[in-house]
A = this chain, B = another copy of it.
Amino acid sequence: MRADQAYDELMRRVREETILTTVEALLEWDEETYMPSGGVENRSEQLAMLAGLLHERGTDPRLGDLLASVEASALLADEASPVAVNVRALRREYDRFVRLPRALVEEIARTTALAQKAWTSAYGAADFMRFRPWLERIVDLKRAEADCVGYVDEPYDALLEDYEPGLRSAVVARLFGALRRELVPLAERIAGAPRRPDSSALRRHFPRDRQRRFGEAVAAAVGFDFRRGRMDLGGHPSCTGIGLGDCRITLRYHDRDFPGGLFTILHEVGHGLYEQGLDPKHYGTPLGETASVGMDEAQARFWENRVGRSHGFWEHFYPRARELFPESLGDVPLDEFHFAANRVAPSLVRVHADEVTYNLHVMIRFDLERALVSGALAVADLPEAWRAAYRDSLGVTPRTDAEGCLQDGHWSDALIGYFPTYTLGDVFAAQLYTCAERELGGLGEQFARGEFAPLVQWLERRVYRAGGRHPSARLIEVVTGSPPDHRPLVSVLREKYEALYGI
C-alpha cells in the first residue's frame, strides 16, 4: 500500500466517523430539547445502534494497517506536519479503542444507564446507600478500563488520558496543590473583609423570556454566529457541535438567578466560539478538533469568568439589563450590581460556587476519585471523606449527602477523570487572558466599549485554528510562552478581589 493512498483512505474514514459522531450529537441534543417523553426507549436504541457502528469502524483492523503504512513512511518525517499530527492522534485513539474489549464497553454502558437512575433516586432521597453499590461497580469497571488501556504510574492516569491526552495525574496534583495553597488563604481573607456586597437585589424576579432575549443579544454581541448555531431550552446547559456550521447551545433559566444564568450562557458561548472558530479546512480530522476537554473548558471559563464577571463587560451591558429589568435593577447602581454578582462565600454546591472557591470544589473531587481508583479510599468511606475535605478546604460541612458526595451526576455516568479538566480550564483561561492582555492591551476598556472582536480574533488565531495540533499543555506553552501555571489565575483573582473587597 502506498503511504499517501493509505493516508487518504485514513482521512476519508476518520471524516466518516466524524459524521456519524455528529449524527449521534444531534440525537442527544434533540433528546435534551424537543424529543417527546414517549421517545426515550426508541432514542436509546438509535444511540446504541450508532455506538455500535462507531465501535465497529473505530476498531476496524484496516485502520491499524493504514496507520502502520503511514507510520513506516517518510510522511512523518516532519513532526509538526498535518500528516504527523493527525496520525499521532489517530494512533492514540485507535490503540485505546482496540484495547478496550467490547464486553467491557457494553458493560459500562449498561451499568451507567442503571446507575444514573439509581443516582437520581439516591440524590432525591439524600441516601448514599442507594447509590453505593453502583458506584462500587463503576469504580471497578473504570479500574478494569485503566488496566486494559495501560498506564505507567497509576491507573487514574489512564482515565485522565481520555480527556487530557499527555497529562499525568502527578503533574495535575502538583499544579492543583500550588493553586490550593493560594486560594484557601485568599478565600479566608475575603471572608474576613470588612466590606461586603449586598446581593439581595439579585434574588428579585427576572422573567425568563427576557433573560433569554438578553442572553441571545449578549451571545451575538460577543461573536456567537447564529447563522451557524442556535440556543434552545434544554435539561442541562451544554454546547454541542452537530457538524460544520451547526453548533447548538442548550440553556436553563431561573426566575431568581439572572447573573448566574448569564454566566452560564457566556460559558456555553465560550465553547461555541471555539467550535465555530475551528479550521474548516481540517474539519473532521484531529487537526480541526478541539485540543482537549480542558482546553475546551478553558474557552468556556474565559468567557464566563474573565469576560462575563469583569467590570468592563457590565459597563457595556448593564444599561441594557436595566432597561429590560427596570423593576428589579432600576435602583441598583452598576458597581453594586457588579460587586454582588462577584460575591465570594464558601459553599457546599459546586455549580453555584463563586470563581474563587469553585476550584476548591473541583480539587476535592480530583483527590477523592483518584483515591477511589487507586484503592486508597473505599466507596463506603466516601461520604465521610467528602465531609472532611469540605471542612478542611472550605470550612463548611454538608448536612446531607445530597449537598455532599451525591451532588454531581458525573460518577453515575462513569465520568471519572473528567473533573480536573474544569480547573485545568480555569488555569489555562487565566494564562490566555494574561497573554492576550499583554499583546492586545486594555481588554477591560474594550469590553466597556462593546468591542469583543479583537479578542475573539486573537483567540481564533492562537487557539481555535491550532485545533488538535498540540496537546493542551504544549499548546498553552506555544501560545503564552509558559507551561501550565497556576500563577496567572492567582494574580487575576487576587487583583480583582482585593480591589472589590478592599483587602
The answer to whether A34 and B34 have CB atoms under 8 Å apart is yes
Interface bits A217-231 vs B (CB < 8 Å: 1, else 0): 000000001111110
- A230 contacts which chain B residues (CB < 8 A)? 34, 36
The answer to whether A39 and B243 have CB atoms under 8 Å apart is yes
Q: Is A85 on the interface with B (CB-CB < 8 A)?
A: no
Q: What's the least CB distance linking A309 to chain B, in Å?
A: 29
Given contacts A27-B26, A226-B36, A228-B36, contact A244 B41 (CB under 8 A): yes
Interface of chain A residues 212 through 255 with chain B (CB within 8 A): 225-230, 232, 242-246
In whole angstroms, how far apart are the Cα atoms of A419 and B282 in the complex?
44
The answer to whether B45 and A246 have CB atoms under 8 Å apart is no
Q: What's the least CB distance linking A80 to chain B, in Å?
A: 29
In whole angstroms, how far apart are the Cα atoms of A49 and B23 in the complex?
10
In whole angstroms, how far apart are the Cα atoms of A244 and B34 in the complex?
16
Q: What's the least CB distance linking A17 to chain B, in Å?
A: 10
Given contacts A16-B49, A36-B227, contact A42 B232 (CB under 8 A): no
- A20 contacts which chain B residues (CB < 8 A)? 49
Q: What's the least CB distance linking A275 to chain B, in Å?
A: 12
Interface bits A28-55 vs B (CB < 8 Å: 1, else 0): 0010001111111111011001100100
Q: What's the least CB distance linking A11 to chain B, in Å?
A: 14
Q: What's the least CB distance linking A229 to chain B, in Å?
A: 6
The answer to whether B23 and A227 have CB atoms under 8 Å apart is no
Q: Is A446 on the interface with B (CB-CB < 8 A)?
A: no
Partner of A246, one of B36, B227, B244, B245: B36
The answer to whether A46 and B27 have CB atoms under 8 Å apart is no
Instruction: Give how many copies assemble into the complex.
Output: 2
Name, among A20, A26, A38, the residue most crowded by chain B CB atoms within 10 Å (CB to CB): A38
In whole angstroms, how far apart are the Cα atoms of A226 and B34 in the complex?
12
The answer to whether B38 and A227 have CB atoms under 8 Å apart is yes
Q: What's the least CB distance linking A58 to chain B, in Å?
A: 15
Residue of B nearest to A40 (CB): B245
Q: Is A393 on the interface with B (CB-CB < 8 A)?
A: no
Name, among A27, A36, A50, the residue most crowded by chain B CB atoms within 10 Å (CB to CB): A36
In whole angstroms, how far apart are the Cα atoms of A229 and B246 in the complex?
25
The answer to whether B42 and A245 have CB atoms under 8 Å apart is yes
The answer to whether B243 and A43 have CB atoms under 8 Å apart is yes
Given contacts A43-B246, A245-B36, contact A49 B227 (CB under 8 A): no
Q: Is A400 on the interface with B (CB-CB < 8 A)?
A: no
- A246 contacts which chain B residues (CB < 8 A)? 35-36, 38-39, 42-43
- A225 contacts which chain B residues (CB < 8 A)? 38
Q: Is A305 on the interface with B (CB-CB < 8 A)?
A: no
In whole angstroms, how far apart are the Cα atoms of A482 and B328 in the complex?
70
The answer to whether B19 and A244 have CB atoms under 8 Å apart is no
- A39 contacts which chain B residues (CB < 8 A)? 228, 242-246
Q: Is A111 on the interface with B (CB-CB < 8 A)?
A: no
- A232 contacts which chain B residues (CB < 8 A)? 34
Q: Is A59 on the interface with B (CB-CB < 8 A)?
A: no
- A35 contacts which chain B residues (CB < 8 A)? 242, 246
In whole angstroms, how far apart are the Cα atoms of A263 and B49 in the complex?
38
Q: What's the least CB distance linking A470 to chain B, in Å?
A: 26
The answer to whether B34 and A46 have CB atoms under 8 Å apart is no
Q: Is A116 on the interface with B (CB-CB < 8 A)?
A: no
Partner of A41, one of B26, B45, B245: B245
The answer to whether A49 and B19 have CB atoms under 8 Å apart is yes
Q: Is A22 on the interface with B (CB-CB < 8 A)?
A: yes
In whole angstroms, how far apart are the Cα atoms of A245 and B45 in the complex?
12
In whole angstroms, how far apart are the Cα atoms of A75 and B405 in the complex?
57
- A30 contacts which chain B residues (CB < 8 A)? 26, 30
Residue of B nearest to A50 (CB): B23
Interface of chain A residues 278 through 298 with chain B (CB within 8 A): none
Partner of A46, one of B36, B38, B226, B243: B243
Q: What's the least CB distance linking A226 to chain B, in Å?
A: 7
Q: What's the least CB distance linking A118 to chain B, in Å?
A: 24
Q: What's the least CB distance linking A268 to chain B, in Å?
A: 15
Interface of chain A residues 178 through 194 with chain B (CB within 8 A): none
6 contacts between A and B (CB under 8 A): A22-B42, A36-B226, A37-B227, A39-B245, A39-B246, A42-B242
Given contacts A23-B27, A26-B46, A42-B243, 20 further A-B contacts (CB under 8 A): A19-B46, A22-B42, A26-B26, A26-B27, A30-B30, A34-B232, A36-B226, A36-B246, A38-B227, A38-B228, A38-B229, A38-B245, A38-B246, A39-B243, A39-B245, A39-B246, A40-B245, A41-B244, A42-B244, A42-B246
Instruction: List the 3 closest A-B pairs by CB distance, nearest first.
Output: A39-B246, A38-B228, A42-B243
